[in-house]
């Protein structure tokens, strides 16, 4: 039987200015139980201590809510979602959003299908690499918000995510220490790909080390030819 994290999660969320109801706390409890159960057969996370899951997965994901205003019914894509962070926590708190979970490993998406079924959450799960998704006419420039957590350095991440964001939509990169340096290094990528308005939002009231959100608003269309092939993106970042 997994440790009960509901009280801790509700108190810590309150510290961050987020009100978490009983049903939402119950959903997070079940999510953690499924994560630990599936982690024994599919490599989903190296973090397995319940209190660390609360801090480093759940609260980290929820830090997006006070930092940016997600409009009602927004189309949100979680790029390289892995075990569902931050997408699933956002959907628990904001069931009105239309959530797409994108990952290159199908085993993770099977796990996420099970989570969504158990928690009664709707989502679209797509088995593709990020650069393939950015070239897909059905997905390209169709999301109000794209987010990614611990996927790649920011210049690379920009090319994975910004092609998916519609005009005036947002790309939010979740980063730890060194976010300012990454942002400086990504200036060229942001300019080329259409992300011209940027702010760095430090996450406060957080016990798991320095966390930052890089919030980018898209102000011009991403040119044809981007994203490039995956190997080129990582070997020759913009």
Dump pLDDT digits (tens) for 167-183. Answer: 999 999 999 888 888 88
Asked whether the predicted pLDDT for residue 1 surpasses 70, the reply is no
Alpha carbon distance 197, 191 (integer Å)? 9
Compute the average pLDDT of residues 78-93: 97
Query: Residue 165 — pLDDT band, cuts 50, 70, 90?
Result: very high
Beta bridge partners of 174: 149, 213
Please indicate, yes or no, if residue 56 is contained in any of the structural domains: no
Please indicate, yes or no, if residue 219 is contained in any of the structural domains: yes
Alpha carbon distance 197, 21 (integer Å)? 34
Pairing of strands 143-149, 165-175: parallel
Please indicate, yes or no, if residue 164 is contained in any of the structural domains: yes
For residue 123, give its domain range: 63-235
Burial class (CB in 10 A: 0-12, 13-18, 19+), 45: middle
**Element (DSSP H or E) covering residue 51:** helix 50-53
Compute the average pLDDT of residues 89-111: 97
Alpha carbon distance 111, 57 (integer Å)? 16
Residue 2 CA to chain centroid, in angstroms? 25
User: What secondary structure letter does DSSP report for 164?
Assistant: G
What is the model's pLDDT at position 33? 96
Please indicate, yes or no, if residue 1 is contained in any of the structural domains: no
Q: pTM here?
A: 0.94
Alpha carbon distance 86, 81 (integer Å)? 7
Give me the number of domains the chain comprises: 1
pLDDT in tens, 208-217: 678 889 999 9
Query: Residue 61 — pLDDT band, cuts 50, 70, 90?
Result: very high
Give the three-class secondary structure for 90.
helix
Compute the average pLDDT of residues 56-77: 92
What is the model's pLDDT at position 181? 87
- % pLDDT > 90, the chain: 79
Compute the average pLDDT of residues 112-134: 96
Please indicate, yes or no, if residue 27 is contained in any of the structural domains: no
Please indicate, yes or no, if residue 159 is contained in any of the structural domains: yes
Query: Residue 201 — pLDDT band, cuts 50, 70, 90?
Result: confident
Please indicate, yes or no, if residue 16 is contained in any of the structural domains: no
Chain position carrying tokens 């708190």:
93
Alpha carbon distance 221, 165 (integer Å)? 9
CATH at 173? 3.40.50.150
Alpha carbon distance 10, 12 (integer Å)? 6
Please indicate, yes or no, if residue 74 is contained in any of the structural domains: yes
């Amino acid at each position: 039987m997994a440790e009960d994290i509901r009280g801790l999660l509700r108190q810590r969320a309150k510290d961050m200015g987020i009100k978490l109801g009983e049903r939402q706390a119950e959903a997070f409890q079940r999510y953690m139980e499924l994560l630990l159960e599936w982690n024994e057969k599919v490599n989903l996370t190296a973090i397995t201590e319940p209190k660390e899951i609360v801090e480093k997965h759940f609260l980290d994901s929820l830090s997006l809510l006070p930092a940016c205003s997600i409009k009602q019914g927004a189309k949100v894509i979680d790029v390289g979602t892995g075990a569902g962070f931050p997408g699933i926590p956002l959907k628990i708190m904001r069931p009105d959003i239309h959530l797409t979970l994108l990952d290159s490993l199908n085993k993770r998406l099977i796990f996420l299908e099970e989570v969504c079924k158990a928690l009664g959450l709707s989502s679209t799960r797509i088995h593709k690499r990020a650069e393939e998704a950015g070239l897909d006419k059905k997905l390209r420039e169709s999301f109000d918000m794209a987010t990614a957590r611990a996927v790649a350095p920011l210049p690379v991440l920009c090319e994975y995510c910004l092609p998916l964001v519609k005009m005036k939509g947002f790309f939010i990169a979740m980063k730890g220490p060194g976010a300012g340096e990454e942002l400086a290094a990504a200036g060229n990528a942001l300019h080329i790909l259409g992300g011209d308005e940027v702010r760095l939002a430090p996450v406060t009231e957080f016990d798991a080390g320095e966390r930052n959100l890089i919030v980018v608003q898209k102000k011009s269309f991403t040119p044809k030819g981007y994203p490039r092939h995956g190997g080129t993106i990582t070997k020759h970042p913009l």
